[in-house]
Structure 1
Amino acid sequence: MSNAKTVFLTGVTGYVGGTYLQQLLNSPNPPSQITCLVRSPEKVKPLDAIPTVKAVVGDHAEYDLLTELAETHDITIESAESDNQKMMDALLRGMEKRHEKGLETIFIHTSGTGELADDARGEYASEVTYTDGEARPPHVLHINSLPDTAFHRKVDLSIIEADKKGWCRSYIIFPGTIWGKGTGSLFGSGISNPYSKQIPMAVQASLDRGRAGMIGKGLNYWVHVHIDDVGSHFALVYDAALFDKGPHGELGYYLCSAGEYQLLRATIAIGEVMQKHGWSKVAEPDSFAEAELDKYFSGFAKSPGGHKYYPGTNSRAESAQAKKLGWKPEHEDVDEFYQYCRDETERIGAKGAPFW
């Protein structure tokens, strides 16, 4: 594949997609053109003002458009949907058409470490860590050992199958809980959303109920990664894909984890700020009732493998493949992450009700 490549990017107005676009624009191997799919016509003019960037108005249910865009670009980068099978099928059809013409396609998809989630419901810390490198049973397992029914897994398996058929070289990125405020011109100008969703969701639910809340005892662990480290991780995977220097397809997993945090400690951090401002009488969290789980987290159950107890799962991972590529996350300190939880509680709480 020639270095003069074109890129089709989804999710550019989002937290992750905006970070990806900034990395592409600053890459030592920049694309000749980056086509961005946006829902809002208001985003077209500021995006088109960026050299090499072209915005196309559309949504993820316009399957013919998705197929056309995937068919007419050398590289497709998907950062908007991890469980939309119809959208994925449309993208893969475009890659199949390229393959029929003898054209190669690179496909970089953003999944998430939710795929590693168990059903702990906050009652314990799992001893199992998943890796994209060498497994070391019984406690370090390869991601390919996950059942087909795992969260996000159905979409990811369809991508791997497309790689096997030769339609694309696929690379799947798995960020953990992403945190930190997005920085750079795309975020500063309002083109892209600078805030994460996962911790803010926990903050909003806690503020709405008037006390920091958790699933069960909150003893479960998740991996975390700062948005800037997501950007540097993507840049390395992009270059590895561009020059075919990293595994793809069935081994093309790129876990993105800088460290771990415990949900109980994150929730305590939220509760401390709530008590300080009088938003809660106590700092100590308690468990969500079943009715509250239905209210706040039932959306997770709409995706295959998901359930309302999702925030109480364990998701533990090591980023072996990215480390081989030279990835060195700068925000590994878990105390910095817990401070972020406090800062987000300050930010969201200051806005006032309604919180949900």
Structure 2
Amino acid sequence: MTSAKTSIFITGATGYIGGTILKRLLQHGNAASFDISVLVRSADKAEKFKALGVKAVIGTYSDEDVLFESARKADIVFQNVEIANVVPIKAILRGLKRRFQETGTRPVVIHTSGTAAVNDSANGMYDSNTVYSDMEPDRVQSDEFVLPHRFVNAELLKADQEGYIRSHIIYPSTVWGLATGPLVDAGLQNPHSIQIPAWIRISIARGKAFKIGEGRNIWPDTHIEDLADLYMLVFNRVLSDPAASHGRDGLYFAGKDEHRLIDVYSAIAKSLYELGKVDSPEPTRLEDDEAIKYFGNALFVTSAHGGNSRVRSDRSFAIGWKPTRGTAEMLNSIKPECEVIVRETA
């Protein structure tokens, strides 16, 4: 690396995944050798991060100059936001390219994508036997996929191929479990995933739980702490060997187990019915106008939430990833999460 300390820049540090990554870095055995900075929107949050020993840069993800400068100063970037938007990642890459030109050392990006990048358009009506391995970069980056995750990932892989960064792309699946730790306690980090909790809130808002199509599609799932283990495995490999497999050989799926979406919809419906927040213990189909109302985009619901995303985390397992919590635990976690969200919405 280019200095006595390893300079780390994290986007999305107030988010569910980004905050959990930061928590793990602060708990890391080499934490004293890290110089960590995060991007935040307010001076109030900046002061709270400083109290935890973390530098804070005030700005937003539309501030390309801020992203450029923050990346230019970093040995390692954890990129966790706007994963379907190429504009912020291009600004970060420009900063990293400048750093490479100034230091001659290739900085590292550990980027959060998602297994929606290998989704079909089943609209919840059927399952699929097609499974993608993280050892198959050609299939993972196939032109058949229309969600913008692929285009963002392509920018990173191109920069890696051009030789001025080393990219590592992690693909979380349905991530579940409440985040915990000092950032949550300080009111800095969102403790909820963006998937199941959003479905719970929408179900409460419409007065009945929903399903997309018949919920026959299949998705992988991973607990937030198991996911954090994978990030730290990749990070530790980078620390010990900056030239560790990267680029097209640095794709990591984070899927521990699998579920049919109908099982999640049904668990939400049953839990909210028992809590008196919906009028039936059975989910009803989400219509297109509702998809636009609640998600802003009916096509996204059809092609993402309604699609099949089946993966094998072969590369992740090969580097020693050992997730311990599966679908049964995820389904059992839904009622406690409903209870938390009901209290919050009250």
TM-score normalized by structure 1?
A: 0.90
Deviations 1:116-171 (A, max 9, x none): 11100001111111111269xxxxx9423453633411111001000011110000
Q: Which residue of the partner structure matches residue 56 of structure 1?
A: 57
For the residue of structure 1 that corresponds to 2:197, the secondary structure is helix
Deviations 1:63-100 (A, max 9, x none): 11111111111111111220121111110001111222
Q: CA deviation at 1:274?
A: 2.4
Q: Return 114-123 or 39-48, whichever deviates more.
A: 39-48
Q: Which residue of the partner structure matches residue 293 of structure 1?
A: 291
For the residue of structure 2 that corresponds to 1:178, the secondary structure is strand
**8 Å contact kept, 2:118–2:145:** no
Q: Return 263-272 or 25-34, whichever deviates more.
A: 25-34
Q: Which amino acid aligns with 1:312?
A: G
Deviations 1:214-266 (A, max 9, x none): 11111011111111111111100111222136421122111111111111011
Q: Which residue of the partner structure matches residue 328 of structure 1?
A: 322
Q: Which amino acid aligns with 2:280?
A: V
For the residue of structure 1 that corresponds to 2:83, the secondary structure is coil
| Aligned equivalents of 1:28, 1:300: Cα separation in 2 | 45
* Alpha carbons of structure 1 residues 49 and 349: separation in structure 2 relative to 1, 3 Å: closer
For the residue of structure 1 that corresponds to 2:111, the secondary structure is strand
Q: Report whether the alignment pairs 1:347 with 2:340.
A: yes
| Aligned equivalents of 1:95, 1:106: Cα separation in 2 | 8
| Aligned equivalents of 2:256, 2:283: Cα separation in 1 | 26
Q: Report whether the alignment pairs 1:208 with 2:208.
A: no
* Alpha carbons of structure 1 residues 162 and 224: separation in structure 2 relative to 1, 3 Å: same
Q: CA deviation at 1:293?
A: 1.5
**Unmatched runs of 5 consecutive residues or more in structure 2:** none
Deviations 1:331-352 (A, max 9, x none): 12x1211122222222223445
| Aligned equivalents of 2:51, 2:276: Cα separation in 1 | 46
Q: CA deviation at 1:281?
A: 3.2
**8 Å contact kept, 1:114–1:151:** no
| Aligned equivalents of 1:271, 1:307: Cα separation in 2 | 19
Q: Which residue of the partner structure matches residue 19 of structure 1?
A: 20
Q: Which residue of the partner structure matches residue 280 of structure 1?
A: 278
* Alpha carbons of structure 1 residues 179 and 146: separation in structure 2 relative to 1, 3 Å: farther
Q: Which amino acid aligns with 2:171?
A: F
* Structural mapping, 1:1-356, within 5 Å: 1=1, 4-30=5-31, 31-51=33-53, 53-101=54-102, 102-133=104-135, 142-145=139-142, 147=144, 149-242=146-239, 243-244=241-242, 246-299=244-297, 306=300, 308-332=302-326, 334-352=327-345
**8 Å contact kept, 1:171–1:241:** no
Q: Which amino acid aligns with 1:253?
A: L
**Unmatched runs of 5 consecutive residues or more in structure 1:** 136-140
* Alpha carbons of structure 1 residues 210 and 324: separation in structure 2 relative to 1, 3 Å: same
**8 Å contact kept, 1:109–1:173:** yes
Q: Return 2-11 or 60-69, whichever deviates more.
A: 2-11
Deviations 1:16-44 (A, max 9, x none): 11111111122234343001111121111
| Aligned equivalents of 1:281, 1:66: Cα separation in 2 | 47
Q: Return 86-95 or 237-246, whichever deviates more.
A: 237-246
Q: Return 222-231 or 95-104, whichever deviates more.
A: 95-104
**8 Å contact kept, 2:132–2:140:** yes
| Aligned equivalents of 1:309, 1:161: Cα separation in 2 | 26
Aligned residues: 342
* Alpha carbons of structure 1 residues 150 and 159: separation in structure 2 relative to 1, 3 Å: same
**8 Å contact kept, 1:96–1:167:** yes
**8 Å contact kept, 1:223–1:260:** yes
Q: Which amino acid aligns with 1:345?
A: C
**8 Å contact kept, 2:120–2:145:** no
| Aligned equivalents of 2:26, 2:343: Cα separation in 1 | 35
CA RMSD of aligned residues (A): 2.0
Q: Which amino acid aligns with 2:254?
A: C
Q: Which amino acid aligns with 2:25?
A: L
Q: CA deviation at 1:50?
A: 2.4
**8 Å contact kept, 2:173–2:220:** yes
| Aligned equivalents of 1:268, 1:149: Cα separation in 2 | 29
Q: Which residue of the partner structure matches residue 138 of structure 1?
A: none
| Aligned equivalents of 1:68, 1:151: Cα separation in 2 | 25
| Aligned equivalents of 1:44, 1:298: Cα separation in 2 | 31
